[in-house]
Structure 1
Amino acid sequence: MLNRRGITLNKRNYPFVISIAGVSGGGKTTITKRLNKRLTNTKVLFFDDYDVEGPIDIIDWVDKGAVYDEWNLDEFFVDLKELIDSPLEYIILDYPFAYKHAKIKSLIDLAVYIDTPLDIAMARRVVRDYNNRSKESILNEMENYLSRGRRGYLEMIQSIKPCSDFIVDGTLPPSIIVDKIYHNIINE
């Protein structure tokens, strides 16, 4: 079987790269960490660990057509290329764009999308990001989500989900999600 780079999978001499995408609060980091424990000889890159240069106003960017190549992912790309040249079996990317960024897409072997309903993702975000915040800051975030922010989430669903290789139900327990991804990788 050939991967997206045209290489026979069972004769690779470089790591198999798995991208985990989904909306904010969708479970990317949780699943990435658990999948990392499940696979052997693996390294992980977390998109949120990078100070990437992207649009100042995400919703304006969405409204103008959401051109993913406008994001400067040079630092992320350099680290990924370095890992690809290392003796690893797998590289897992906690990375929201799947195949939508031209510089990164050619390095991904499998793009997974965690399909989490927006209400669950938003509840997770509030619990995660607003645990020690005031009621007013939570209400402001909800108002922003309703007036503008939801369009950013919908962009992910409309653009990233369809271009992913494997879509998994984000309402499932994390252990089941990891099992499904693991079996998909093993069966590639």
Structure 2
Amino acid sequence: MRVIAAAGLSGAGKTQVLLRAAELLGGAPILHFDEYAAVSTLPMDMRAWLEAGGDIEAYQTPQFARDLRALRAWQSVTLPGGGVVQPGSVVLVEEPMGRARKEMTALIDFVAFLDAPFDVLLARRLLRRMEEEREQLSGRTLDVLRADLRYHLELGRRLHVHGQHVVPQAADIVIDSTRPLDDVARALLHAAGLR
């Protein structure tokens, strides 16, 4: 079994790339970091976390790690929100920090850091936010967008710089995620020796 991870910052395209890679592999199982947020210990105040040095070990995801170990042992896992993931010869993992966190280092065989410029990340996050809140946004669209842009200017960009410094060091390859989705997914699989 091989565990292949897509790492990168919010908006880098990890989810979409892994979904496409899973299709190309004929239905490989995927574990998504975000599905474990409610059962993990994550920094609550990102500004304070960053000002204290941005230690990525503050991200503690014991159930995520347990489930990944179980899949590596060819056992199925039940996701925190329900649903079952079956093991496969390749398991795809959405892990923003790749192998950079000690909790994940020995569990992941190959990491691709999906890289994109600040403006692309911001645009993707805003589009995703608008899609997620399409129904509720009608009267407050400008307020939501204004808040997201302020966050990006005040903190988001600094988080991006920090992540770009820390995470790629633990990656096997850096892939420009502004390329077409199919190209990025194929590049990931090719670099991991799967295509």
TM over 0.5: yes
Q: State the shift of 1:40 in Å.
A: 4.5
**Alignment match, 1:126:** 126
- 2:169 counterpart SS class: coil
State the one-letter code of the partner of 2:34: D
Q: Map 1:68-107 to 2 at 5 A.
A: 68-86=56-74, 88-107=88-107
Q: Percent identity?
A: 25
What secondary structure sits across from 2:170 in the alignment?
coil
Of residues 13, 17, 30, the one that matches 2:3 is 17
Gapped regions of structure 1 (runs ≥ 5): 1-14
Structure 1 SS opposite 2:71: helix
How far 1:88 sits from its partner (Å)?
Answer: 2.1
What corresponds to 1:30 in structure 2? 16
Q: How far 1:41 sits from its partner (Å)?
A: 6.4
1:165 matched to which residue of 2?
172
Write the distance in 1 (CA, Å) between the matches of 2:2 and 2:153: 39
Q: Is the 8 A contact 1:18 1:110 kept in 2?
A: yes
Residue 53, structure 1, aligned to residue 34, structure 2 = no
> In the TM superposition, what whole-angstrom CA distance separates every residue of 1:32-69 from its partner, at most 9, and x where no partner exists?
10111112462110011112211111122122122222
Distance 1:34 1:187 in 2: 14
Between the aligned partners of 2:166 and 2:60, the Cα distance in structure 1 is 19
Matches for 1:142-153 after TM superposition, within 5 Å:
142-153=149-160
Q: What is aligned with 2:54?
A: 66
The residue identity in structure 2 corresponding to 1:102 is K
Instruction: Find the aligned partners of 1:76 and 1:187 in 2 and give their Cα distance.
Output: 24
Q: Which residue of 2 aligns with 1:112?
A: 112
SS of equivalent to 1:162: helix
RMSD over equivalenced CA pairs, Å: 1.6
Q: Secondary structure at the match of 2:30?
A: strand
1:183 aligns with 190
The code of the aligned residue for 1:124 comes to R
* Counterparts of 1:154 and 1:107, CA distance in 2: 26
Structure-1 residue corresponding to 2:78: none
List gaps (5 residues or longer) in structure 2.
75-86
Q: How far 1:129 moved relative to its partner?
A: 0.8
Instruction: Give, as a single letter, the amino acid of the residue that structure 1 aligns with 2:94.
Output: D
Shift, 1:162, TM fit: 2.6
Letter in 1 for 2:30: V
